[in-house]
Structure 1
Amino acid sequence: MPIRLKNARILMYSHDTFGLGHLRRCRAIAHALVEAFSGLQVLIVSGAQIAGAFDYRARVDFVKIPSVIKLRDGEYTSMAKHMDLSETLRMRRAILLDTARSFRPDIFIVDKEPLGLKGEAEETLAWLKAEGHTRLVLGLRDIMDSPQLLAAEWERRGNLPKIAQYYDDIWVYGPRAFHDPLAGLPVPPEVRARMSFVGFLKRRVRARTGLPQAPARPPYVLVTSGGGGDGAEMTRDAINAWRLAPDLPHGVIVLGPYMPAEERAALTRLARGLPVEIIDFVPKMEELMAGAVGVVCMGGYNTWCEVLSFDKPALIIPRRVPREEQLLRATRAAELGLAMMLQPEEAADTPRLVAAIRALPGLPPPSASGRAPELDGLANIAQIVGDWLKPDRGEPLMRRAG
């Protein structure tokens, strides 16, 4: 039974300039919390273009701020052609601050970017800190980037002093034994003391009640590049594998909503006549993941959590620019025997990729390695939140060590 919390409120901020990872992570946390606590309200402020394409549980809602996209060279631009970036950022900053002032959250959770996109969340952090009624939490994925790239970026933005100034707690959405996202950075002891490694976020399929069942498919390999904005190369390599070897298991290929239209059209043409199903976007990726006999992916955070949650043999083909996050995650997964990895140039060798896809359904799942990390992040977050919002439960505030 959920624990009753009277009128508790959590505000989440997800800057969302590239892909779906930030919003999907916030949404998973929000849904777990409203399941655990009746009376709790969660509001997500998101810049994702397609925030409204997902379903949200009762007592979870979102505020859409104007979208900004990250270009391949690392720069940003406004999605609204008639509005320059500075004007868009002013609007986003104002909406976030006004939302915090009117919603008055008990907890404010910021995803990944300590100060928000180009510092847009700092005014909100400063106001909430001065008010003194809100617990301020920074949520970091298991791997942010290579230490040298992250250190340079955070030094340029002054992130570590600002984290010490504003945040009460830092949640790492992974176990310490898998990776430390701030390894190699000069993290002050007072910041380290606020870090909790809560664990990976387990995903599950919600039971369908009164809804038509999804159409039956033959045993299939799922190919997904997440949001798809930088997934055309991997997807093309995968389609070429089926072109060379049409006797491979049936393929279900999800292009992703952010794949450019011309690339989407070219890949759809390339796959014509092959034993593959091309899907533009699915809001419930968990259902496709659960039914797959194997997964080919790029190794983004949410996809990796789904691979572990549904215990699927996986082949990871990570991107290496502009961040090395996926490369580091894939390398670590391969070291632990949790997944196979091919570098992008190796996956471009079509016979080699054919062999890897053909082997996927027969490979042992991650759990068979004996080294699969626990997926207790959502439960641990719920316990921490319950301790903060209802301290008379008599349980100590949990600080995860690994």
Structure 2
Amino acid sequence: MTRRFEDARILMYSHDTFGLGHLRRCRAIAHALVEDYSGLQILIISGATIAGAFDYRARVDFVKIPSVIKLRNGEYTSLDRHIELHETLKMRQSIIRSTAESFKPDIFIVDKEPMGLRGEVEDTLTYLKAHGTRLVLGLRDVMDAPHLLEVEWKRRDTMRKIEQFYDAIWVYGPPDFYDPLVGLDVPATVRDRMNFVGFLQRGVPRDNMPSHRPEGDYILVTTGGGGDGADLIHDVIHAYQQDPELTYNALVVLGPYMPAKKRNKLIRKGSSIPFIRMIEFDNRMEELVAGAKGVVSMGGYNTYCEILSFDKPALIVPRLVPREEQLIRAQRASALGLVDMLLPQESEDPMRFAAAIKALPYRAPPSRSAHGLRLEGLLHISDIVGEWLDHRSKQHLSIVKQTS
């Protein structure tokens, strides 16, 4: 049953430099919360270039900060090449702080990057903590290989700052799947604040919009944002070219961040194959996953949650650099029998890849091997937020009574 909280506010931060994962995760959480709590307002700060391409429910809005692009080597650059990176970061930091000051959130949720891109939210965390805002760090089920994450966090003194600022740490996965801080020296005070809320379940939007699903059966091929997805799409096309028995219809979503030169080349290559249909982007990916007979993916967090939510057979070809997040997730899910996996060097073999694609629609869905694995993240987050806002309301009522 929907509960009402008067003028409750949540601010979310999504740095968004490469792909759509952070914004889509924040959006899923925001939509679930405003559905459960009337009167709640949520504002998402996002650096995604296409943040405005998505639909937002009533009482959910976003503030766009200047975009920064993460290159494949892990370095960053401004989207506007005429502006120096340090100038862009100064603008982002100023907008984030001023948004927090004017919005006055009860809760501030930071997605994945504890201090933001290059430390851009640390100033805002300091301000909000002094004003009593509850500060939450949301972590993916898998962050990166422990040795890589440890080096990065030690260089930035991240663990100490997490301990200093954050009241709670939500892990968007169950404890028996993976620990994002495994192998790191985690203070007991930080461990005590960690809550493995579970995977974030996805659903098909309940509205009167026309369906985005193609007619007939199809396999969905998706690389998320697409910035580093060209190799996977090339391997899919090559498999269709080399195996005449591969005739299952495939809907290929290239992703909005795929470089234009690579995108155009793939569209030309795929146009000669009658079983492949290509589109650049769809803002309702949940519908496409729900309608597919199977999913071929790199296994980013959001796609993985959709695979589990809609119980779809999946073939994962993970990215290996600059982060090992997708590889670790795919290896763990494969070991549990939830998905099939090929390494990128294996998908480059067209006949091997074709055989895996042909077998995909007949693979058992993840639920056959789930061993009680549930997607309860949004439910748990809603319960936690409800308790916090209820406590806030009682405190406010007590203050009013004392002053009246």
TM-score bin (small chain): over 0.9
Where 1:40 maps in the other structure, the secondary structure is: strand
Distance 1:214 1:73 in 2: 35
Distance 1:168 1:393 in 2: 19
Where 1:61 maps in the other structure, the secondary structure is: strand
Residue 331 of structure 2: aligned partner: 331
Tell me the alpha carbon deviations over residues 132-182 of structure 1, each in whole angstroms, 9 at most, x when there is no partner.
2x1000000000001000000000110000001000000000001000000
Using the TM superposition, give the Cα deviation of residue 72 of structure 1 relative to its aligned residue in structure 2, in angstroms: 1.3
Distance 1:341 1:190 in 2: 37
Using the TM superposition, give the Cα deviation of residue 377 of structure 1 relative to its aligned residue in structure 2, in angstroms: 0.1
Aligned runs of 1:202-351 on 2, under 5 Å? Answer: 202-209=201-208, 211-214=209-212, 216-246=214-244, 247-274=246-273, 275-351=275-351
Contiguous gaps of at least 5 residues in structure 2: 395-404
How many pairs does the alignment contain?
392
Residue 129 of structure 1: aligned partner: 129
Distance 1:311 1:206 in 2: 17
Tell me the alpha carbon deviations over residues 308-352 of structure 1, each in whole angstroms, 9 at most, x when there is no partner.
000000000001100000000000000000000000000000000
Q: Which amino acid in 1 is paired with 2:228?
A: D
Q: Which amino acid in 1 is paired with 2:58?
A: A
Identity %: 62
Contact 2:331 2:341 in 1 (8 A): yes
Using the TM superposition, give the Cα deviation of residue 213 of structure 1 relative to its aligned residue in structure 2, in angstroms: 3.9
Contact 2:212 2:287 in 1 (8 A): no
Tell me the alpha carbon deviations over residues 345-373 of structure 1, each in whole angstroms, 9 at most, x when there is no partner.
00000000000000001010000114262
> Cα–Cα, structure 1 residues 36 and 271, in superposed 2: closer, same or farther, change >3 Å?
same
Where 2:7 maps in the other structure, the secondary structure is: coil
Distance 1:372 1:344 in 2: 30
Residue 401 of structure 2: aligned partner: none
Where 2:48 maps in the other structure, the secondary structure is: coil
Distance 2:75 2:237 in 1: 30
Tell me the alpha carbon deviations over residues 71-110 of structure 1, each in whole angstroms, 9 at most, x when there is no partner.
1111100001221001000000000000000000000000
Contact 1:18 1:69 in 2 (8 A): yes
Q: Which amino acid in 1 is paired with 2:147?
A: Q
Where 1:41 maps in the other structure, the secondary structure is: strand
Distance 1:131 1:5 in 2: 20
Do residues 116 (structure 1) and 116 (structure 2) align? yes
Using the TM superposition, give the Cα deviation of residue 392 of structure 1 relative to its aligned residue in structure 2, in angstroms: 9.1
> Cα–Cα, structure 1 residues 208 and 368, in superposed 2: closer, same or farther, change >3 Å?
same
Aligned runs of 1:158-177 on 2, under 5 Å? Answer: 158-177=157-176
Aligned runs of 1:83-162 on 2, under 5 Å? Answer: 83-132=83-132, 134-162=133-161
Distance 2:91 2:393 in 1: 41
Q: Which amino acid in 2 is paired with 1:84?
A: E
Tell me the alpha carbon deviations over residues 23-64 of structure 1, each in whole angstroms, 9 at most, x when there is no partner.
000000000000010000000000000000001000000000
Distance 1:219 1:343 in 2: 26
Residue 363 of structure 2: aligned partner: 363
Q: Which amino acid in 1 is paired with 2:35?
A: E
Aligned runs of 1:27-38 on 2, under 5 Å? Answer: 27-38=27-38
Do residues 39 (structure 1) and 35 (structure 2) align? no
Contact 2:311 2:366 in 1 (8 A): yes
Contact 1:366 1:372 in 2 (8 A): no
Contact 1:338 1:371 in 2 (8 A): no
Where 1:385 maps in the other structure, the secondary structure is: helix
Residue 58 of structure 1: aligned partner: 58
Contact 1:387 1:393 in 2 (8 A): no
**TM-score scaled to structure 1, two decimals?**
0.96
**TM-score scaled to structure 2, two decimals?**
0.95
Distance 1:300 1:248 in 2: 27
Distance 1:334 1:350 in 2: 21
Tell me the alpha carbon deviations over residues 285-324 of structure 1, each in whole angstroms, 9 at most, x when there is no partner.
0000000000000010000000000000000000110000
Q: Which amino acid in 2 is paired with 1:252?
A: L
Q: Which amino acid in 2 is paired with 1:191?
A: V
> Cα–Cα, structure 1 residues 372 and 70, in superposed 2: closer, same or farther, change >3 Å?
farther
Distance 2:16 2:319 in 1: 18
Aligned runs of 1:172-183 on 2, under 5 Å? Answer: 172-183=171-182
